[in-house]
Amino acid sequence: MWKGYNFFINEEMPLQQIPVSQHLPDDQFVIDDVKLMDVPMLQHILKQLYDGRSPWSYTIFLLELSRKDNGRYLKISFEGVVVGFIGIRIERADAHITNIAITPTFQGRGLGTLLLKKAEEYARNNDCISLSLEVKRSNKGAIRLYQRLGFEIKGLKKEYYKEDLEDALDMIYWLGE
């Protein structure tokens, strides 16, 4: 997960509104663009995952959702309830995954993989040559998942996370042909 901004922003920014809606084969899960009204739910998911505190403030979400040309946030819902999301930001030819989270009771069912595949599709459609992300060094489960999908460790960012100064692994997935 990207560590976030260190500054405050003007909250009056246009929202990214790129229509996409995908019904999955079993028709139980729906992937769609995140909207501003989803942010409290996304923060609720993050709180469940990070000891009751969302590492991303409302302001960070707002700024990220305002990226019109080079970013996309997708949510995955079950029976109308958001159970996870992923954020992607394009920087030159790289699509950077800024955040990915699946609510605890829905983990281990392939939803994270599905969102990562969507990110890959979005990256390819935007002529990116790589997908990248940062992950806490101790997050062994997520690292295993990323490696299974083709990510490799590119480097280490020392004391990257400001809340606990944990190191981040810098991971990259070369998309190729």
Ligand X SMILES: CC(C)(COP(=O)(O)OP(=O)(O)OC[C@H]1O[C@@H](n2cnc3c(N)ncnc32)[C@H](O)[C@@H]1OP(=O)(O)O)[C@@H](O)C(=O)NCCC(=O)NCCS
Question: Which residues participate in catalysis according to the annotation?
Answer: 134, 146
Closer to ligand X at the Cβ: 92 or 148?
Answer: 148
User: 21-23 and 29-33 as β-strands: parallel, antiparallel, unpaired?
Assistant: antiparallel
Q: Is 77 helix (H, G, I), strand (E, B) or coil?
A: strand
As measured in angstroms, the least distance from the Cβ of 11 to ligand X is: 25
When CB distances to ligand X are compared, the closest residue is 112
As measured in angstroms, the least distance from the Cβ of 14 to ligand X is: 27
Q: CA 54, CA 123: separation in Å to the nearest integer?
A: 27
Closer to ligand X at the Cβ: 90 or 169?
Answer: 169
Element (H, E) at 21: strand 21-23
Closer to ligand X at the Cβ: 34 or 133?
Answer: 133
Q: CA 152, CA 148: separation in Å to the nearest integer?
A: 9
Residues within the interface to ligand X (CB under 6 A): 1, 49, 100-102, 107-113, 133, 135, 139, 141-142, 144-145, 148
Q: Give backbone dihedrals phi and psi of 31, rounded to 5 degrees, phi first.
A: -105, 135
Unique residue bearing structure tokens 């480097």: 155
As measured in angstroms, the least distance from the Cβ of 166 to ligand X is: 12
